[in-house]
């Protein structure tokens, strides 16, 4: 779907949330909250409103906990959101060999035990080798660093998901 910002602004509440509700993984409440900020002057203004809402959350780790493990249980059971499935498949997460899958599962578990939320990375910007390297390296970070990095990655994911739904101003 590629709507221009005028079409986005004209959407009734239910349609706005239905169409844009997963730009932040499993957090349609964020989209619902920014709907009242319409009309947005541009895609960048809509994205800024979402980003500001995320930054204003008193406990933003909740949005990190909504993300599935990469190549994890949800991937194996087929219960990923369509967006997550496509993003993980595009990065090669669906094509891990047994050694890579085992390493990914071990690192995902180590990461969650250390930080209390899943490892979040914008899979569309990386391949499986880079994701495994990043996951291994980021397990060594301090919790505050990882929390900030995870939020930054959520915003990258949101940016790309919004671009797949809404025409950027230069494409109008």
- List of domains in the chain: 5-59+161-171 (1.10.3330.10), 63-156 (1.10.3330.10)
**pTM reported for the whole predicted model:** 0.95
Query: 3-class secondary structure for 57-122?
Result: CCCCHHHHHCCCCCCCHHHHHCCCCHHHHHHHHHHCHHHCCHHHHHHHHHHHHHHHHHHCCCCCCC
Q: Is 85 a catalytic residue?
A: no
What's the pLDDT tens digit per position in 101-127? 999 999 999 999 999 999 999 999 999
| Catalytic one of 67, 75, 126, 159 | 67
Q: Sorting pLDDT into bands at 50, 70 and 90, what band is 42? A: very high
* pLDDT at 172 (0 to 100): 42
Dig out the tokens for 142 from the structure: 């301090």
CA distances from 17 to 8, 24, 119 (A): 11, 11, 26
């Amino acid at each position: 779907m590629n709507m221009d910002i005028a079409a986005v602004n004209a959407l009734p509440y239910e349609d706005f949330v239905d169409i844009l509700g997963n730009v932040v993984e499993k957090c349609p409440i964020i989209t619902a909250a920014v709907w009242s900020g319409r009309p947005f002057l541009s895609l960048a203004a809509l994205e800024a409103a979402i980003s500001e809402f995320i930054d204003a959350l008193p406990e933003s780790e909740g949005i990190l906990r909504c993300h599935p493990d990469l190549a994890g249980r949800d991937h194996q059971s087929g219960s990923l959101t369509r967006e997550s499935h496509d993003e993980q498949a595009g990065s090669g997460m669906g094509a891990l060999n047994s050694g890579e899958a085992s390493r990914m599962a071990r690192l995902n578990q180590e990461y969650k035990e250390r930080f209390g939320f899943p490892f979040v990375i914008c899979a569309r910007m990386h391949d499986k080798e880079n994701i495994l390297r990043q996951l291994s390296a980021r397990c060594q970070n301090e919790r505050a660093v990882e929390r900030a990095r995870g939020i930054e990655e959520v915003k990258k994911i949101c940016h790309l998901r919004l671009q797949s739904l809404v025409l950027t101003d230069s494409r109008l």
